Structures are given as C-alpha cells and as structure tokens.
Amino acid sequence: MNKPAFPADATTLAIDVGGSAIKGALLDIRGEMVSERVRIENIYPCPPSVILDTIAQLAQQLPGFHRVAVGFPGLVRDGRVFNIPSFSKSTLEGEVDPALVLAWDGFDLESALNQYFEQPVRVANDADVQGCAAISGKGLEFVMTLGTGVGTALFFDGVLLPHFELGHAPFRKGMTFEEQIGNAARREVGKERWIGRVYKAIAAYNHFLFFDHIYIGGGNGRHLEGYELPENATLVSNTAGILGGIKIWER
C-alpha cells in the first residue's frame, strides 16, 4: 500500500475514544496541540452508528486537518473492530448485549471513517496509540491504561507489537484484570483497595511479560498520583491518548 503524501505542515485530527466520552484535538507536525481539546459524552447504547455520529460532531468543531488518527478501546486489527467490551453493553457498566456484540464484531471502523472524512484515517487500539506518545523506544515497554476497562500495549525497541487484549487475562479470584481493576471495581471497593489491586496487577503482568518499563495511563491513572510506584514504572498524562495520534502516523 502506498503511503499517503502530506504537506510538510500537515495537521492531524487526533481522536481518543473512551467508554464515557470521546475527546479530540488538532496536532501540528511536531505532535503539539494547536486547538482546544473537545470532549463529547457518550450516549448509551453505543452501536457503530452512534459512535460515528459522535465522532462527526466532534470533527465539526475541529476543522482544517489533513489526516485522522483514532484510538479505540477494543481489539482493532487493520482498522476493524473485533472486540469492544464497553460498547457491547446497553449502559456504561451494564450487562453485555448480544446484539451490540454482533453489531461491532468485524465492523470496519477505519473504512467507515474514511468515507465520512474523505481524508486518510488510521484506527488503532487506544492503549497502542497512547503508548506511541509515552515510550522511550528502549527494550520491552508495557503500557497499561486504567479507564472504564484495562487497556494494554507492548513495544520492543520502539516497535509496536501485535495487539493482545491482556486486560481480559486471568488475574485473581477467578476474575480478569479488567474485572479487578476496571472502573466498576474501583467504585465498588474504594480507592485504597483498588490501588492495592493495581500494585498486584503490575507485579502479575511482570511475572509473565518481564518488561523493562511500564507506563500507566488512562483516566483512572490519576488516582495513583502521589503514591510510590516501582522504579521501572511511570505515570503518563491522559492527554497521551490524543498526542499519540501523530506518532501512530509515523509508524
């Protein structure tokens, strides 16, 4: 596939799709914001048509871009969505709706957005995008985003590795990482117990990944501010989900 040609001063519309809201901003060629960040709350249920409409509303407030980068909270391969836990529910923290699972399974989000924008679009997992803005490019680097669920990404010497939904891996007490340290769990057990679980999650991931460094982001990452983390752990700003939009076009 030929790489699209862009002007030297190309502007990127970077969109960070989350379970509770969709955020976006314009980035210059250096990856710096050249607009205010726009945020639109999601309305549930969220089939593909609703998400496309919300992204369109956001883009109308941020005109003047040459390309689009979208971070999406689910398993995305070649622009297609194969698993999206949050939008497979009728409410943000409700039960899974089989009809929504079916609506999203295999949905070609990248092609749908290409048709709408008539501009080149790249869609990738949101943790992958955030990691592109956070990593150093040295060794095996692991990204864990804490939001509605748990996102993950892996990089080796700066190369983005194939995406795995490691938030759905078994963790403790017969539950997954997402079930134990997702937003619903934080609200259920309280901040202090939840932070204790996050420490255990970091150790558990390291037992089988043997990462050199872990980057922790997402909206709930802020709850770890002021707490001592392992030496090889770094908190990253939630804006990395947007700033990674320029990096995903460089990879």
pTM: 0.88
CB atoms near residue 94 (< 10 Å): 12
Task: Report the share of the chain in percent with pLDDT over 90.
Answer: 80
Q: How far is CA 186 from the centre of its chain?
A: 19
**In the predicted model, is pLDDT for residue 222 greater than 60?**
yes
Q: What is the pLDDT of residue 223?
A: 96
Q: pLDDT band at 213, cuts 50/70/90?
A: very high
Q: What is the pLDDT of residue 83?
A: 87
CB atoms near residue 39 (< 10 Å): 14
Choose among 132, 141, 80: nearest CA to 245.
132
pLDDT in tens, 139-191: 999 999 998 899 999 999 999 999 899 999 999 999 999 999 999 999 999 99
Q: 3-class SS at 96?
A: strand
**In the predicted model, is pLDDT for residue 238 greater than 90?**
no
**In the predicted model, is pLDDT for residue 68 greater than 70?**
yes
C-alpha 213/C-alpha 194 separation (Å) is 22
pLDDT in tens, 240-249: 778 888 888 8
* Structural domains of the chain sorted by starting position, each given as residue range(s) with its CATH number in brackets: 12-127 (3.30.420.40), 136-237 (3.30.420.40)
CA of 54: how far to CAs of 17, 43, 102, 141, 208, in Å? 10, 9, 20, 33, 38
Please give the backbone phi and psi of residue 212, each rounded to the nearest 5 degrees, phi first.
-80, -35
pLDDT in tens, 9-67: 899 999 999 888 999 999 999 888 999 999 999 999 999 999 999 999 999 999 999 99
Residue 71 makes CB contacts below 8 A (sequence gap 6+) with 14, 15, 16, 17, 124, 125, 126, 127, 128, 129, 130, 241, 242, 244, 245, 248
User: How confident is the prediction for the chain on average, in pLDDT?
Assistant: 93
C-alpha 129/C-alpha 151 separation (Å) is 11
Answer for the pair 81, 106: CB distance below 8 angstroms, yes or no.
yes
